[in-house]
Amino acid sequence: MRLTAEQQASQRGETRPTRRATVPALEEMLYEPVPVLDHGFIRVVDYMGDDEAIVQAARVSYGRGTRRTSEDQGLINYLMRHRHTTPFEMCEIKYHVKLPIFVARQWIRHRTANVNEYSGRYSILDNEFYIPAPEHLAAQATTNRQGRGTILEGAAAQHVLDLLREDAERAYRGYVELLNEDAAGTPIDPSRPGLARELARMNLSLNFYTQWYWKTDLHNLMHFLSLRADPHAQYEIRAYAEAMLGTLARWVPMTYAAFLEYRMNAALISATALAVIRRMLAGETVTPEASGLSRREWRELMQVLGRSPAA
Amino acid sequence: MRLTAEQQASQRGETRPTRRATVPALEEMLYEPVPVLDHGFIRVVDYMGDDEAIVQAARVSYGRGTRRTSEDQGLINYLMRHRHTTPFEMCEIKYHVKLPIFVARQWIRHRTANVNEYSGRYSILDNEFYIPAPEHLAAQATTNRQGRGTILEGAAAQHVLDLLREDAERAYRGYVELLNEDAAGTPIDPSRPGLARELARMNLSLNFYTQWYWKTDLHNLMHFLSLRADPHAQYEIRAYAEAMLGTLARWVPMTYAAFLEYRMNAALISATALAVIRRMLAGETVTPEASGLSRREWRELMQVLGRSPAA
Amino acid sequence: MRLTAEQQASQRGETRPTRRATVPALEEMLYEPVPVLDHGFIRVVDYMGDDEAIVQAARVSYGRGTRRTSEDQGLINYLMRHRHTTPFEMCEIKYHVKLPIFVARQWIRHRTANVNEYSGRYSILDNEFYIPAPEHLAAQATTNRQGRGTILEGAAAQHVLDLLREDAERAYRGYVELLNEDAAGTPIDPSRPGLARELARMNLSLNFYTQWYWKTDLHNLMHFLSLRADPHAQYEIRAYAEAMLGTLARWVPMTYAAFLEYRMNAALISATALAVIRRMLAGETVTPEASGLSRREWRELMQVLGRSPAA
Amino acid sequence: MRLTAEQQASQRGETRPTRRATVPALEEMLYEPVPVLDHGFIRVVDYMGDDEAIVQAARVSYGRGTRRTSEDQGLINYLMRHRHTTPFEMCEIKYHVKLPIFVARQWIRHRTANVNEYSGRYSILDNEFYIPAPEHLAAQATTNRQGRGTILEGAAAQHVLDLLREDAERAYRGYVELLNEDAAGTPIDPSRPGLARELARMNLSLNFYTQWYWKTDLHNLMHFLSLRADPHAQYEIRAYAEAMLGTLARWVPMTYAAFLEYRMNAALISATALAVIRRMLAGETVTPEASGLSRREWRELMQVLGRSPAA
């Protein structure tokens, strides 16, 4: 499942004329795989629209009765701040992604996208699986059921890596044994039938790589990124989201700036937390107990405000 | 709400280089309005992908384990026949459409699209409304609550046309009176306030024109066209669907051919109707009464089979 | 288009046993129209799930490995704060709504809902149209293209009300004249044909009432309400949203509380605005000019913080 | 991941009064697991609406201007035949499903549903995996890349079963070793840290069971079933679809009948195939070569018509 000769041939690298909106900074990296994890990648294979297409769609609403008083960046900021999301839906992007199956399972939960995945019913999967780099080999967090704790080291780390690798290799050997055919589709032992591909694949583990084309509009892409580039997301999918943030910056730089300012680096402050801030600004010393917030919310608020949780 | 100078300027007519898939036949008509009804139009303002992008997405599923035995048209036919719809979702198109509000109300029911509509909250609508051409001025069907009957003629037709025109003109005069501002936004009678635009617009009737950007993927476009280019659709929205069929033919000619063969000109035959056909092919003379079909279904089946309803 | 005898009969008022989740507080108001505007209403006609269904769905993720340490309200707050939206999708509600067409046009833009609307292709619309109450008869805002300004009074108000009423009545007379049939479907002037219903309806103005069934899940309902119960929404759709907030409070009281705390009464603070708050908390006097915010953002931030815009 | 005590307690078996539509035949089986495959199940945990709710929604379109001439079954048939899908969207159903991960991966591709899945980030998965029953242990089809061929027997079958079982058991042992905690969450070897759950799960193979709540409307449920109860679907997901067909028959018997007649047992006949049928009915002997159909389409048409492929 690497880029095959056929896939590379289909990269359509030739330059052709178009009257559509084009983005030279994105054209430069078109079709180029950006490596993610140990064997994965993302690459942009097509796109539609640019920052100006968003502005243009927004101005449909204003029509000729509106003077162009605001700058494009100002208008895009306004749309982002006020959740006028439809103009961002006017842009579309298509990625080719290679990713471990357990990451694909999280990713696919974002429903507002179009997907074509490599099918193990029809084809044989490659012997490629994800093994975490040592610096991402984390113990279970003790304070948080969902998170990672300290990084494993030394013999404990090596034990984990060995076990993961051995089990994946054994799973793949089992898979080939079940299929009874090699990667080229030639029977290995012609004296016995191979198991149907759609059944044999079930022997593979969730760290094996799959790949897909994934197409979405800019609004839904940003929603995906705001959730998956977030520190609470599992590291492995976050690695993909971060690579995609780089493509966003090239594609629609104004939207990207607004996205950082009003989404990624913004904070949603609850009604009670707003009241706490108002009291603090009025000079009051607010204690966690008198704040009306839960301990967890208090801690999160103090973090957002750049203050020590103690007060 | 005609194409304004600004909108025309934004047509981005200049040719630029791209490494994306391009479709010269569609590029030719890019940005060009195709007239529909008396004041409406559709025009393609952007697109992503082509027939080959569909084939390429379908082949992700087959991977390298599959030899390229079938022609592209054959593969596209196969996908269409077997309802493998996801590869068609890999293409996207964006239209700019000007249409009467009552048509917009039918159109918007197709939810899987992105829309930016001209807003009467912000801007003043033009004095443009739809008046049917005489050949579409139909009486209510007597046999079918939903349909049109015979065409009105002579004085009856003239009466209808006069009434529609007078009421629309009066509605617009009322609108301007409520707004108390001209198209340029200048107060007409500075001594009194104008009603808020978001309120004044409610005085306009449903035949006034609005406009929007409408973006969808190819699969959902075909679903829209199969319903709205159908003879059961109201003529006015069908006129738009037919204009869009022309853009489909230029954009993805292989898909268009498959769409005609397996959707538009195909027929869904019920279980009971299939049994009737089998009996007829076996030489039996099947009567409507012995067919197990309702009278309406019998009539529709005979029509599909090119036979007289009598037997 | 009032509740017809048949519709009232279909209210299914009889009590039947069920093993599903039930919400007595919502059952009480089931089928009862809540009046909105001058002729409109909302009424709940069915629902699925309750607060506990959300908790239960959330706990699927935790399975047996998790102890039930948190209270239900705490869990629901957590889900709302951290945008874990899928458990809220496990509840569904269905409304019957009667509303002016221009409100329906805004409402329908929320795509993630199921809708069945009264059809003017098949049926004759009633002579019912919306006329704003005097206290909502606002002039166009001068500072904000989208908004309303001062309330019209005296002769100016009367002039607007008269004009709206006369034009709507004339539009309906034209509609009946075109149809040439009365509300019972009897021809008025049997000597001439009536215009097809699907055409005649275009003579009606946007303040005429339509009605529909509208069904959505709780997550999307809250998204709808957060946009449409917002002060920036047009008053007329806000009136519907506010009536629906009342049904939310009865249906899922814990979710409603969390919705107020973390959505409706919360604020999204941009990265730059967060920095301003931090500086203020550190004792610095921040001026609008040195804030890095636009004047509009500064004003909005001061409002959120309950301070005068001057500083 | 069996039904835990807590889950069973939450079955809400008590009977309560409601004024909503109820379906006694479905109430009877509410919460009861219907076994599927070796360890899986489906069970209905909630529903909204019934056949009458569909009829009622359809009649909104007809309003009072329409006499109730047709029977309910006739109206439902009409809606199904003419693809008036929105009334079917007025019903909703929620299932609790336990299924192998590779089945979940196919299933989740249906995007128009709400899903809450058991999370391996938070919780420990059970040692339960799918092993095909001997009669479903099929060889790869030689004529069809996607399908299954003959059933494996004897030693070949036993070899496959042994290998699948051994590899799954080994995968689970590795999983527990990585976690270093037992099902109750107690550390096994307290002297070393366990790997984070979100990482350890990647060692499990695709035949391990997961579970989810899955909620969808009736229209989308039928679309799902028409694809997944189809003979071309992989057996394992078809087994779930068939169990769900049984719930459909209980829930909305009229819709179920129409679904069989106009969907499941109907056939979509292409334009060219229709022409072939017309010629045959006119007495012509049509050969495959002169049919204009591909060999595959010819074969499929002959099958639909109940004739031998030879002619």
The three state secondary structure string of chain D is CCCCHHHHHCCCCCCEEECCCCCHHHHCCCCCCEEECCCEEEEEEEEECCHHHHHHHHHHHHHHHCCCCCCHHHHHHHHHHCCCCHHHHHCEEEEEEEEEHHHHHHHCCCCCCEEEECCCCCCCCCCCECCCCHHHCEEECCCCCCCEEEECCHHHHHHHHHHHHHHHHHHHHHHHHHHCECCCCCECCCCCCCECHHHHHHHCECCEEEEEEEEEEHHHHHHHHHHHCCCCCCHHHHHHHHHHHHHHHHHCHHHHHHHHHHHHCCEEECHHHHHHHHHHHCCCCCCCHHHCCCHHHHHHHHHHCCCCCCC
Task: Identify the bridge partners of residue A98 per DSSP, sorted by sequence position.
Answer: A41, A211
Q: Does residue A194 belong to the interface with chain D, where contact is any CB pair within 8 Å?
A: yes
Q: What is the pLDDT of residues C98-142, one digit of tens each?
A: 999 999 999 999 999 999 999 999 889 999 999 999 999 999 887
A116 touches chain C (CB under 8 A): no
Instruction: Give the mean model confidence (pLDDT) for residues C279-283.
Output: 95
In this complex, do B202 and C145 lie within 8 Å of one another by their Cβ atoms? no
Q: Which of D116, D175, D211 to mutate to test the interface with C (most CBs of C within 10 A)?
A: D116
CATH topology of domain C1-127+208-266: Gyrase A; domain 2 (3.30.1360)
Comparing B2 with B245, the larger pLDDT belongs to B245
Of C13, C63, C123, the CB nearest to D19: C13
Contacts of D213 in chain C (CB under 8 A): 57, 60, 90
Task: For chain D, give the mean pLDDT.
Answer: 91
Q: Lowest-confidence range among B271-280, C286-295, D76-85, D142-151?
A: D142-151
Inter-chain CB proximity D123 and C13 less than 8 Å: no
Of the two residues C37 and D6, the one the predictor is more confident about is C37
The domain over range B1-130+208-266 is classified in CATH as 3.40.50.620: no
Q: Which region among B15-29, B77-91, C139-153 has the lowest average model confidence (pLDDT)?
A: C139-153
Rounded distance, CA A292 to CA A276, Å? Answer: 8
Judge whether residue B193 has pLDDT over 80. Answer: yes
Task: Determine contact: B299 vs chain D, CB below 8 A.
Answer: no
Give B68-79 pLDDT, tens digit per residue.
545 899 999 999
Query: Which residues of A fall within a CB distance of 8 Å from B18?
Result: 15-18, 20, 22, 27
Residues 78-97 in D contacting B (C-alpha not used; CB under 8 Å): 81-83, 86
Structure tokens at A108: 């696919």
Contact D270/B at CB under 8 A: yes
Is D16 an annotated catalytic residue?
no
Two tokens, residue A141: 């967090």
Q: Is-contact A204 A172, C-beta < 8 A?
A: yes
Q: C102 CB near a chain B CB, below 8 Å?
A: yes
Kindly determine whether residue C202 and residue B167, on different chains, have CB atoms separated by under 8 Å: no
Phi-psi bin for A292: left (phi > 0), alpha (psi -120 to 50), beta?
Answer: left
pLDDT for residue C158: 95
CB contact under 8 A, B305 and D281: yes
pLDDT at C13: 67
**Choices 3.30.1360.170, 3.90.25.10, 3.40.50.150, 3.40.50.920: CATH for A1-130+207-266:** 3.30.1360.170
A17-46 mean pLDDT: 97
* Mean pLDDT taken over chain B: 91
Tokens standing for A214?
Answer: 């994934």
Q: What percent of chain C has pLDDT over 70?
A: 91
Q: Compute, in degrees rounded to 10, the torsion defined by CA atoms A304, A308, A309, A310.
A: -160
Would the CB atoms of C262 and A268 count as touching at under 8 Å?
yes
Query: Which CATH number applies to D1-125+210-266?
Result: 3.30.1360.170
Q: Does B115 touch chain C (CB under 8 A)?
A: yes
Give dist(CA C79, CA C81) in Å, integer: 6
Shortest CA distance from C32: residue in chain D: D19
Residue A68: pLDDT band with limits 50, 70, 90: low
pLDDT at position B1, please? 47
What is the mean pLDDT of the segment spanning D179-190? Answer: 87
Nearest to C89 among D14, D59, D114 (CB): D114
pLDDT at A1 over 50: no
Asked if residues C223 and C102 have their Cβ atoms less than 8 Å apart, the reply is: no
Q: Are A4 and B118 in contact (CB < 8 Å)?
A: no
Q: Which residues contact B155 (CB under 8 A, 6 or more apart)?
A: none
The pLDDT confidence band at residue B7, using thresholds 50, 70 and 90, is: low
Q: Which chains touch D (3 or more CB pairs under 8 A)?
A: A, B, C
The nearest CA of chain C is from the CA of A81 a distance in Å of 8
Per-residue pLDDT, averaged over C234-238, amounts to 97
Q: Shortest Cα distance from B185 to chain C (angstroms)?
A: 11
pLDDT of res. A49: 98
pLDDT attached to residue B68: 56
In this prediction, residues D12-34 reach a mean pLDDT of: 93
Distance, in angstroms, between B124 CA and closest chain A CA? Answer: 7
A21 CB near a chain C CB, below 8 Å? no
pLDDT reported for residue B146: 64
The residue-averaged pLDDT of D233-250 equals 98
**Residue C2: pLDDT band by 50, 70, 90 thresholds?**
low
Mean pLDDT of chain A: 91
Instruction: Supply C15's token pair.
Output: 């009590």
D306 shares contact with chain B (CB less than 8 Å): yes
In the predicted structure, residue C66 carries a pLDDT above the cut 70: no
Instruction: Name the band, by pLDDT with cuts 50, 70 and 90, for residue B140.
Output: confident
Mean pLDDT calculated for residue range D252-263: 98
Between A100-109, B95-104, B146-155, D255-264, the lowest mean confidence (pLDDT) is in: B146-155
The pLDDT, as a whole number, for residue C65 is 42
Instruction: Please give the pLDDT value at position D208.
Output: 98
B20 part of contact set with chain C, CB < 8 Å = no
Query: In this model, does residue D119 exceed pLDDT 50?
Result: yes
